[in-house]
Amino acid sequence: MPSIRALTNDEREARLGWGLIAPAMIIILLLILYPIIYNVYLSFFDVSLMGQNRFVGLRNYTGILGDGEFWRSVLMTFLYVILSTVGTTLAGLGVATVMNREFPLRGLVRSLILFPYVAPVISVVFAWQFFFDPVNGIFMHTLVEQLGWVSERFNLIRDPQNALWVLIVFNIWKNFPFSYLMILSRLQAIDANLYEAAEIDGANGWQKFRHITVPELYFVVGALMLLRFIWNFNKFEEVFLLTGTNIKTLPIYTYFKAFIGTMELGDASALALIQFILLLGIIILYVKRVLKW
Amino acid sequence: MKRLLFLVIAAALLSGAALFAGGAEETATGPVEFDFWTTQTQSDRMATIQVLIDTYTAINPNVTINLIPVDENDIPTQINAAAAAGNLPGLVELGAENAVTFGAEGFMDKEATAALLADIGEENFYDGVLRLVNDGAGGYYALPYHGWIQGIWYRSDWFEEAGLDPPNTWENILTAAEYFYQPENNQYGILVGTTAEAFTEQSFTPIAMANGAALFDRDGNLIFNSPEMREAVEYYAELAQYNPPGPQTWRARDYYLQGKMAMFFYSTYIMDDLAIADVAAGSLTGENFADLEGGAFDPELVNNTALAPIITNTEPAGYGVVVTMGLPQQEDPAVTAAASAFLRYLYTQNAYITFLHMAPGGMNPVLREIATNARFQNDPNGVFKNYGAEKMAEIISGMNEIETFSIVDGVRIEAASAIFSNQIIPQMLFSITQEGVDIDTAMARAEEAMLEIVNE
């Protein structure tokens, strides 16, 4: 006869735990895990929207790796991601250091700085486009007509020669407040006694920054850079909205493969997976080397 | 309205009764029901079409017509699905290219089309319009119904003052673009598309066609890399120098409305922007920036604007899109008869003009007599009144010269459509005009991409 016994407290807790996370788990499995697995599956097929999918093995992958446009896109992505990540962090660090000092109306300035980060991308992008419109924008008007610094109007945002740099500047401007906020909160938690002790030992401003502030901030900045790297690597809306079709970072390139023209969904799935593997490799390397976990 | 409702209900009841009776009767006078697919999905346009249907069914109580909106991008999928399920609509509104595609697959009733065409009179249609739906053997896949034309819109007052000829030839266009390009005054010569988008291909097509350049020959061989095409690309790149700075697309038409540009490629959908102040104001923001030059709406612009719908170099060419009414194959001949009769009604003057007035300028008549018809020119928004009878007739005559890369001598080349939807030509023009890639390299790259599609 099977023995019937009351559940122990631990078991009850465990059951309750499972019960509570089950709804979230199911949603994640359905909406995130299933598409990912299906994406991996599709990447081995020549996908046809009307007929049957045809298994092609690794052909989608070899095709992409042999395509010059893909490598240009990789280069563009790294340039964009690295420069914008470094820029965002440095800007955040600089502003946070300044905002950590006492001055009148500091509270107001601190909250105003957050504006670019909280404003919706679409409205900010349109504002930039109005400002920098080559014919009607206030920027060219000021530069050419008012100041006379430049003799001829040019298309700052859309011109492929400038577009990448504009994107980087836009990304830094839009996202530095997040870094600033994180760094500032860490700065405020540094024990003032450390600085006092250093002063007694005769340290100057730079030495205090180098030997107290930087080590205290190391892990915050390290984690921030990792997050920003991941976010920018997968960034779609800013790039697409601001420069249209002119700059093809990996997410945009994938989008084009998948949804524009003849819709190469197999190629696009393979691309998405390659992008994921690239990102994963970098994350592992970074976590081991920089965050030393 | 009550009477109408009664009639509709009566018709529905009768058709139900016919079903119970076994549906043995197939005379043209028996109750008939069919679907009418329209690509005019906006609710106000559907309401207008519904009024036409109600009017028709009130006179012909034995006919029931179900109006079904289908997005024009979904037409291919929907038609394939309906054909597979054996329930094609009695009547369908679709672009000429799709009509040819599905006609070639045997989905369209060419006999019924020919009969109706003969009834209306082939000679009443613009030749250029009929050519787009011809099957290459004297027959037609569908009946053209309305269309828009693209051309070069230009400042006739500026041209007159400068003593320049209208921009209707390669030479005239280039001369004028160069003449009016004054970047130091924030004024530009012309707008041609230079981004990797459809607009770029739309402005390039008539230029290439005017030089006798084509993508394919009659037998479907790719002949993209020809001296004519190279000349056209070279010419286009030269024109693009007189554009506003940077990559440009149709949105830059605003610069014309602000008096900062002499010429621009655009469809006849621009007509209401030119003519109606509040519509134009919607696309202008100048009045919010009082310090910037230009800005305010120019009520004289419509009188100072002319359209050159046809471009000539070695031959004349125009570009536009024709929307047709198709009669898909039916099992029941009564449906075809009823749909034909209803379509005949849609071509009667009053019904036709009511339909076209849904989008003044955007929907242009394919029947010669309508362009100069007084009632047609008196649209509710007053768009046409601003243009005058003569100018309207001149604009609409562009319907006669419409050409596309995908139909060569009436033979439809499928790969040309794939090349279009993959934006190969716009990408090539973008790389030449914006990235400084040399013409031969860019053309070789484009040809390679085209061959990939052709060989698939």
Across the interface, of B246, B423, B453, the residue whose CB is closest to A134 is B246
User: What's the ipTM?
Assistant: 0.77
**pLDDT one-digit tens code per residue, B267-279:** 888 887 776 655 5
pLDDT of res. A176: 95
Best B184, B186, B200, B452 member to test A by mutation, with max A CBs in 10 Å, is B186
More confident residue, A239 or B409: A239
**pLDDT one-digit tens code per residue, B69-81:** 998 777 877 888 8
Shortest distance between the Cα of A231 and any Cα of chain B, in A, equals 27
Contact B306, B391 (CB under 8 A): yes
Shortest distance between the Cα of B148 and any Cα of chain A, in A, equals 23
The tens place of each residue's pLDDT in chain A, 293 residues long, gives 555 677 788 888 999 999 999 999 999 999 999 999 999 999 999 887 656 788 988 999 999 999 888 999 999 999 999 999 999 999 999 999 899 888 889 889 988 999 999 999 999 999 999 999 999 899 999 998 889 888 888 888 888 888 899 999 999 999 999 999 999 999 999 988 998 999 999 888 889 888 998 899 999 999 999 999 999 999 999 998 888 767 889 999 998 888 776 668 899 999 999 999 999 999 999 999 888 77
Shortest distance between the Cα of A135 and any Cα of chain B, in A, equals 7
**pLDDT one-digit tens code per residue, B98-121:** 888 788 778 899 999 999 999 999
Q: In angstroms, what is the C-alpha Rg of chain B?
A: 24
Distance between CA atoms of B195 and B177, rounded to whole angstroms?
19
At which residue do the structure tokens 């697995």 appear? A37
- At residue B280 the predicted structure's pLDDT band, cuts being 50, 70 and 90, is low
Nearest Cα residue to B98 out of B76, B120, B114: B76
Average of pLDDT values for B369-393? 79
- At residue B89 the predicted structure's pLDDT band, cuts being 50, 70 and 90, is very high
Q: Is it the case that residue B336 has pLDDT exceeding 70?
A: yes
Contact B192, B236 (CB under 8 A): yes
Cβ <8 Å between A50 and B80: yes
Sign of CA dihedral B7, B11, B13, B14: positive
Closest residue in chain B to residue A259, using alpha carbons only: B422
Across the interface, of B247, B289, B418, the residue whose CB is closest to A246 is B247
* Amino acid at site B252: A
Least confident segment among A76-80, B54-58, B59-63, B411-415 = B411-415
Least confident segment among A193-197, A250-254, B375-379, B391-395 = B391-395
Q: Is it the case that residue B21 has pLDDT exceeding 60?
A: no
pLDDT of res. A116: 93
Chain A residues within an 8 Å CB radius of B196: 245
Chain A residues within an 8 Å CB radius of B285: 130, 136
Cβ <8 Å between A245 and B195: yes
Best A54, A131, A135, A245 member to test B by mutation, with max B CBs in 10 Å, is A135
Average of pLDDT values for B306-335? 91
Hey, which of B148-157, B356-365, B393-402 has the most confident mean pLDDT? B148-157
Across the interface, of B196, B422, B453, the residue whose CB is closest to A245 is B196
Kindly give the residue spans of alpha helices, DSSP state H, lying in B60-169.
75-85, 96-104, 110-120, 127-131, 156-162
Q: What angle do CA B88, B353, B329 make, to 5 degrees?
A: 15
Across the interface, of A135, A138, A244, the residue whose CB is closest to B195 is A244
Q: What angle do CA B145, B151, B155 make, to 5 degrees?
A: 130
Distance between CA atoms of A47 and A53, rounded to whole angstroms?
5
Contact B172, B258 (CB under 8 A): no
Distances in whole angstroms, Cα of residue B140 to Cα of each of B108, B111, B131, B324, B326: 9, 9, 9, 11, 10
B residues 84..143 contacting A (CB < 8 A): none
- Mapped onto helix, strand or coil, the DSSP state of residue B456 is coil
Beta-sheet pairing, B143-155 with B261-267: antiparallel
- A130 contact B CB<8A: yes
Nearest Cα residue to A74 out of A220, A271, A283: A271
Supply φ then ψ for residue A102, to 5 degrees.
-85, 130
Q: Is it the case that residue B22 has pLDDT exceeding 70?
A: no
Nearest Cα residue to B339 out of B33, B51, B125: B33
Distance between CA atoms of B259 and B154, rounded to whole angstroms?
11
Those residues with Cβ within 8 angstroms of residue B33's Cβ, 6 or more apart along the chain or in another chain: B15, B63, B64, B65, B66
**C-alpha of B42 from chain center:** 17
Shortest distance between the Cα of B306 and any Cα of chain A, in A, equals 23
- Mapped onto helix, strand or coil, the DSSP state of residue B242 is coil
